[in-house]
Chain A
Amino acid sequence: MSASILPLTLDNVAYASNGQPIIPGISLAIEAGPSTIILGANGAGKSVLMRLMHGLLAPSAGSVRWNEADPSSVRRRQAMVFQRPVMLRRSAMANVVYALELAGVPAAEREAQALTALQEVGLRHLAHRPARVLSGGEQQRLALARAWALHPEVLFLDEPTASLDPGATREIETVIKAFDAAGTKIVMATHNLGQARRLGDEVLFIHQGRLAERSPVDQFFARPASPEAAAFIKGELPWV
């Protein structure tokens, strides 16, 4: 087992679905450290790109390589939070325990670790509530607790606040900052520019399945290098 599974290297990665190219070809490296925001319009290919990185989709061409050869170790050391959290029909705590069980944590330690994770996202008091009757914001925080319990090196987030109200969005962002502070590498897709500014260190701007620009976040918003990014910022700003 190597010290870090990062960097993650995408080499000419392409993805097509039913003959329709969604990602014509992307090469990039994700390094440990700065929080990476994947920005782009709806349908730009952000979600597909994250799924290729996380290993949920296999590229049609090119390669996705981690700095670690053992695939089960790679799987174990990363986590993903989806736009719509999928909760199992069991208690909030049991959902976290389930993830710990799959990760190979000994049975005797699972409950304590799950409670710690729930505490971290402020859901300790709802530990025994059925997960599926929690509100949307609470379910998303539970999804973060489930990821937190796994202590991932890399956390992928696919528009985690896209269907939440501003209050819930703030709570989620607080937890994401805590992940960052704890040393987890954040890779987050969003189309919310304010969120990108608040949480990001660097921006990967995706336009029609291509990497149009990669810049530090301040520079990206002040002086976007690509015309597509400039147009996107201008078009999006009124709704931030």
Chain B
Amino acid sequence: MLSAIAEGLQRVFALDRELWRIVALSLEVSLSAVLLATVLGLPLAAALAVKQFPGRRGVIVILNALMGLPPVVVGLLVYLLLSRAGPLGSLGLLFTPGAMIVAQTLLILPIIASLARQALEDAWREYEEQLRSLGAEGLQAALTLLWDARFSLVTAVLAGLGRASAEVGAVMIVGGNIDGVTRVMTTAIALETSKGDLPLALGLGFVLIAIVLALNTAAQLIKEAAQRRFG
């Protein structure tokens, strides 16, 4: 096992240019999806936390349920949307990194929105009376809440990032794992495994874990430093 890992890592680093292209595309796709899902998900979460409206509980239940959405199902839906005969086929996005970003965004939007909603709702319980007393309502209150809960929201965004960088089903279906175009870490691992090149698959897996670990460590350190500063 150990020798397989060592061989795998050796092989991975021997790939150099090809490897870094795969790593770079993985990061590009997953980080873009996280950015998009954050931009869409946080306002949704704030609205759900602050506003009372009919159907609110239904939306929350659905959002929570969608956290467990299987990546292959998301991939399939996006595939149907973007395929030549599909409603968005004219965009020509299928089998491009753009399609992969769309699929991962849809996959992690419920995760980021649900976790953020919970964090914001807890904060709102604490802040509501004070903010209303000061005259902050609606949008203003939501913005204040988002800014004040920013450290808890980091965790929601990291959960989305974890899901995006780990999933293989969605990017495989809408990206097609095309060498040099849409091949990312997870689809490369799946391919090498099915080819029987377990050491290389293992090596790629370790690189993926190392990257995710590094991103999370960085986020955690920033969060802790900021929290020490602002309480």
Which residues of A are at the interface with B, using a C-beta cutoff of 8 A?
Answer: 51, 54, 56, 72, 75-76, 79-80, 82, 85-86, 88-90, 98-99, 102-103, 130-133, 146
Chain B positions within 8 Å of A, measured between CB atoms, are 126-127, 129-136, 140, 144, 147-148, 150-151, 229-231
Contact A56 B231 (CB under 8 A): no
Q: Is the CB of A102 within 8 A of B130?
A: no
Taking the nearest CB of chain B, how far is it from the CB of A84, in angstroms?
A: 9
In the complex, the answer to whether A79 meets B133 with C-beta atoms within 8 Å is yes
Q: In the complex, what distance in Å separates the CA atom of A146 from the CA atom of B131? A: 12
Contact of A98 among B129, B132, B134, B150 (CB under 8 A): B134
Is the Cβ of B135 less than 8 Å from the Cβ of A103? yes
Min CB distance A127 to B, Å, is 15
Instruction: Give the contacting residue for B126; candidates A79, A86, A102, A103; CB below 8 A.
Output: A86
Residues in B whose Cβ lies below 8 Å from that of A54: 133
Judging by beta carbons under 8 Å apart, are B129 and A82 in contact?
yes
Residues of chain B within 8 A of A90, CB atoms compared: 230
Residues of B within 8 Å of A89, CB to CB, are 147-148, 150-151, 230-231
Bound complex: CA A85 to CA B144 (Å) = 16
Q: How long is the Cα–Cα vector from A132 to B148 in the complex, in angstroms?
A: 11
Chain B residues within an 8 Å CB radius of A102: 134-136, 140
Specify which of B129, B134, B140 is in contact with A99 (CB 8 Å cutoff). B134
**What's the Cα separation between A146 and B144 when bound, in Å?**
16
Q: How far is the CA of A80 from the CA of B148 in the complex (A)?
A: 21
Measured between beta carbons, the chain A residues less than 8 angstroms from B130 are 82, 85-86
B127 engages A86 (CB within 8 Å)? yes
Contact of B129 among A56, A76, A146 (CB under 8 A): A56
B129 contacts A75, CB within 8 Å?
A: no
Given the complex, which residues of A lie within 8 Å of B136, measured CB to CB?
Answer: 102
Point out which of A75, A102, A131 has the most chain B C-beta atoms below 10 A from its C-beta: A102
Query: How close is A64's CB to chain B, nearest CB, in angstroms?
Result: 15
Contact B129 A132 (CB under 8 A): no
Min distance, Cβ B126 to any Cβ of chain A, angstroms: 6
Pick from B129, B132, B151, B231: contact of A131, CB below 8 A.
Answer: B231
Expressed in whole angstroms, the minimum distance between the Cβ of B49 and any Cβ of chain A is 16
Asked if A75 and B230 make an inter-chain contact with CB atoms under 8 angstroms apart, the answer reads no
Q: What's the Cα separation between A82 and B128 when bound, in Å?
A: 12
Residue of B nearest to A134 (CB): B231
Q: Smallest Cβ distance from B93 to chain A, in angstroms?
A: 40
Task: Give the most central of B127, B134, B135: most A CB within 10 Å.
Answer: B134
Docked Cα-Cα span, A135 to B127, in Å, equals 19
Report whether B127 and A132 are in contact in the complex, using a CB–CB cutoff of 8 Å: no
Shortest distance from the beta carbon of A51 to any chain B beta carbon, whole Å: 8
Docked complex Cα distance between A28 and B22 (Å):
74
- Contacts A130-B229, A130-B231 known; A88 to B133 CB distance under 8 Å? no
| Contact of B135 (CB < 8 Å), options: A51, A76, A133, A146 | A76
A54-B133, A131-B231, A146-B134 known; 20 new pairs, CB 8 Å cut-off, are A51-B129, A56-B133, A72-B135, A79-B133, A82-B129, A82-B133, A86-B126, A86-B127, A88-B144, A89-B148, A89-B150, A89-B230, A90-B230, A98-B134, A99-B134, A102-B136, A102-B140, A130-B229, A130-B230, A132-B230
Instruction: Report the separation of the CA atoms of residues A102 and B147 in the bound assembly, to the nearest whole angstrom.
Output: 16
B contact residues around A72 at 8 Å (CB)? 135
**Would you list 15 pairs from A and B whose C-beta atoms are within 8 A, ordered by A residue?**
A54-B133, A72-B135, A75-B135, A80-B133, A82-B133, A85-B130, A86-B126, A86-B127, A88-B144, A130-B229, A130-B230, A130-B231, A131-B231, A132-B230, A146-B134
Find the A residue at minimum CB distance from B126.
Answer: A86
Docked CA distance A146–B136 (Å): 14
In the complex formed, the residue of B with least CB distance to A129 is: B231
Interface pair A133/B231, CB less than 8 Å apart: yes
Shortest beta-carbon distance from B134 to chain A in Å:
5
Closest 3 A-B residue pairs measured CB to CB?
Answer: A132-B231, A86-B130, A133-B231
Kindly state the separation between the CA atoms of A179 and B230 in the bound complex, as whole angstroms: 29
Using Cβ atoms and an 8 Å threshold, which residues of chain B touch A85? 130
Residues of A within 8 A of B144 (CB): 88, 98
- Residues of chain B lying within 8 A (CB to CB) of residue A82: 129-130, 133
A54 and B130 alpha carbons, distance in the complex (Å): 11
Most chain B C-beta atoms within 10 Å of own C-beta, residue among A75, A86, A90, A131: A86
